[in-house]
Amino acid sequence: MGPQGKVAVVTGGAGTLGLAAVRALLEDGARVALVDLDALRLDTLSRFLRGERIVVAADVTDAAAVRAAHERVASELGPVDILVNAAGASSEGALAATDESTWRRILAARVSGTYLWSREVLPAMLSRGWGRIVNVAGRASATSPGGPADSAADGAIASFTAELAREGASRGVTVNAVAPAFVRSSTSGGFLTDAQERQILASIPAGRFGEPEEFAHAVRFFASPLSAFVTGQTLRVDGGYHLS
């Protein structure tokens, strides 16, 4: 019941979360386009993947670049059935430490990127009567705040997800979001002191960090036919962090 033969686009495909989603979709038989700004890393990662895939270097904040990337995917793989918006940036500084360039960068990468790619693929999904859009939110919420820019982006993505879900529900297109928190990555270890790691773990009821594959399992469910009656949802994959 997976997306066998479906065409999927994963933005932020060179990042920890995006790459986990790519691997899961390839394992399920999808044909996947990895989209990221880091062309060199994309090319390197692709060599270690199995399954039909292409790499597309593109800036998700640039409308012309997104349009060109979409055209290339459609030309080489076919019409896009699944979109995973995993590109992003983050900053947890307080408001006084959040300058305008940081604010614009985060909102552009996360909110504008989600909007531009969704705008590209949604019309054809609606016309075909099938599609899956999975947006990546973050841990920021009323009970689990992040930085000001992260919080604004998360709120915007949640609202945007609900609005697109309304548009697509009657025409076979579902739109959902996954909100992970404290997912372990190969590069995260060097940024945390032992004291910081203990403090974070104390705030997670599950008592551990999440694994990229656990995030990817949520994406693979939302991308599959099994989720046909689930839309407009934001699923927290955070070990209960939002309860703390």
The answer to whether residue 140 sits within a structural domain is yes
Cα separation, 133 vs 1, whole angstroms? 17
The answer to whether residue 89 sits within a structural domain is yes
The yes-or-no verdict on residue 172 having pLDDT over 60 is yes
The answer to whether residue 241 sits within a structural domain is no
pLDDT in tens, 67-80: 999 999 999 999 99
Q: Work out whether the CA dihedral 152, 35, 162, 146 comes out positive or negative.
A: negative
The answer to whether residue 40 sits within a structural domain is yes
The answer to whether residue 243 sits within a structural domain is no
Identify which of 163, 137, 160 has the alpha carbon closest to the alpha carbon of residue 150.
137
**Domain region containing 110:** 7-235
The answer to whether residue 244 sits within a structural domain is no
Residue 161's SS3 state is: helix
pLDDT in tens, 120-133: 999 999 999 999 99
The answer to whether residue 61 sits within a structural domain is yes
Q: What's the whole-number average pLDDT of the chain?
A: 89
The answer to whether residue 28 sits within a structural domain is yes
What CATH number is attached to the domain comprising 228?
3.40.50.720
- Please state the domain count of the chain: 1
Cα separation, 16 vs 22, whole angstroms? 10
pLDDT in tens, 16-45: 999 999 999 999 999 999 999 999 999 999
